[in-house]
Amino acid sequence: MAVDIPIDPYVVPALDGVAYGLLVFVAAAGLVLCFGVAGILNLAHGTLYAIGGYTAAALLDGGWPSLLLALAVGVIAATAAGALVAGLLTRVAARTHLTQALLTFGLALVGGSLLVRAFGPDDQPVRVPAALDGSVVVAGHRYAAYRLVFIVVAALLAGLLHLAVRRTRAGMLVRAAVDDAEMVAVLGVSPTWIRVGVLAAAGALAGAAGVLGAPIIGPGPDTADVVLLLSLVVVVLGGLGSMTGTLLAALAVGQIQTLGVALAPSAAPFLLFAAMAAVLAVRARGLAATRRTT
């Protein structure tokens, strides 16, 4: 017996899912690169996003210049923080993931405390540019203009990231290192610089996501934890070193968090992790099912 589910009420949650998924993709892509390329489990990754988010809260005043300024400052600050994490990891880079996790978890605690001390214990309001502060009509529904623009911008960022991985020398290094990091070193490329570069790039991506995504996942005491958790889910679902897998996983997470919750509100608390467990049970290496960066 066919079940007749009206589509119309779910247009907005589905769009929200795309926005949420793309935000999670930009935020999680750096974590995937860190793990896949440098073998680093960076539990401070959510804090890099939070740096961007708090920067947005501090600098956005409803104008376009402030958005550009916040983007520049947030990206630079998060990039520097990523490079700092890489520097602090130098001595434990060759050790187990548990050692790395302990160090970066400590850094996340310190970073979170510093941000709360600087900005206070409450969630911070974020002002989007006035021109995007309204709503537009999509398929007969009113939808936040900023989110619609964010979908376009995040898709562009995803495209740029794809091009960078596929077309640049740095991207070649990333793909080669995912495949065989030892052989990359034998070519004369310092593993330390790869690690610093990847963590700094991860910081830049997380910082950009933090600024642009602040109206969606806003800055607050729990922001770093939420973003880290979502990113880890994406890593598990998408597989290591696979940008295609990361994108698919992030979009799936977005839909589960919005459309899934709208369809099955009573399952909301565990829907995401149930989906993760189901994927792991069927495809243990993630949705992409191959260890590659594409």
Partner 1 sequence: MLRTERLCAGYAGGIVLHEVSLEVAAGTVQAVVGRNGAGKTTLVHAVAGLVRPSGGRIEIGGTQVAGRQPHRIARAGVGLVPQGRRVFSRLTVAEHLALAAAPWRAATPGGEGWTVARILELLPRLAVRLRHRGDQLSGGEQQMLAIARALLGQPRVLLLDEPCEGLAPELAARIRDLVGALARTGLTVLLVEQQLPHAIAVADRIAVLEYGRVVYDRPADEARADPGALAAMLSVAAVAEPPAPRPVPGLWAGSGQLTRPLSTGMSDDADRHP
CB 293 → partner 1: shortest distance, Å? 7
Residue closer to partner 1 (CB basis): 73 or 194: 194
Residue closer to partner 1 (CB basis): 94 or 278: 94
- φ, ψ for residue 138, nearest 5 deg: -125, 120
Per CB under 8 A, the segment of 140-148, 187-195, 224-232, 275-283 that binds partner 1 is 187-195
Half-sphere exposure of 19 (CA within 13 A, CB side): 22
243 binding partner 1? (CB under 8 A) = no
169 binding partner 1? (CB under 8 A) = yes
246 binding partner 1? (CB under 8 A) = no
Helix (H, G, I), strand (E, B) or coil at 135: strand
Q: Which of 183, 267, 277, 289 binds partner 1 (CB under 8 A)?
A: 183
Helix (H, G, I), strand (E, B) or coil at 144: strand
Q: From residue 188 to residue 217, what is the string marking binding to partner 1 with x (rule CB under 8 A)?
A: xxxx--------------------------
CB 280 → partner 1: shortest distance, Å? 24
CB 87 → partner 1: shortest distance, Å? 17
What is the full DSSP assignment across 251-291?
HHHHHIIIIIHHH-GGGTTTHHHHHHHHHHHH-TT-SS-S-
Helix (H, G, I), strand (E, B) or coil at 60: coil
Residue closer to partner 1 (CB basis): 113 or 190: 190
Q: How many residues does the chain have?
A: 294
Strand partners, 138: 141
Q: How far, in Å, CA of 27 to CA of 209, rounded?
A: 6
Side chain identity, residue 127: R
Side chain identity, residue 141: H
175 binding partner 1? (CB under 8 A) = yes
CB 171 → partner 1: shortest distance, Å? 9
Neighbours of 137 (CB within 10 A): 8
User: What are the strands, taking DSSP E only, across the chain?
Assistant: 135-138, 141-144
Q: Which of 113, 156, 180, 284 binds partner 1 (CB under 8 A)?
A: 180
Q: Which of 173, 205, 272, 279 binds partner 1 (CB under 8 A)?
A: 173
CB 248 → partner 1: shortest distance, Å? 18
Helix (H, G, I), strand (E, B) or coil at 138: strand
Confirm if 53 and 223 have CB atoms less than 8 A apart: yes
Q: Which of 5, 7, 186, 282 binds partner 1 (CB under 8 A)?
A: 186
Q: From residue 127 to residue 166, what is the string marking binding to partner 1 with x (rule CB under 8 A)?
A: ----------------------------------------
CA distances from 45 to 42, 185, 250 (A): 6, 26, 16
Residue ranges in 84-103 that form contacts with partner 1 under rule CB under 8 A = 94
Interface ranges with partner 1 (CB under 8 A): 94, 169, 172-173, 175-176, 178-180, 182-183, 185-191, 292-294
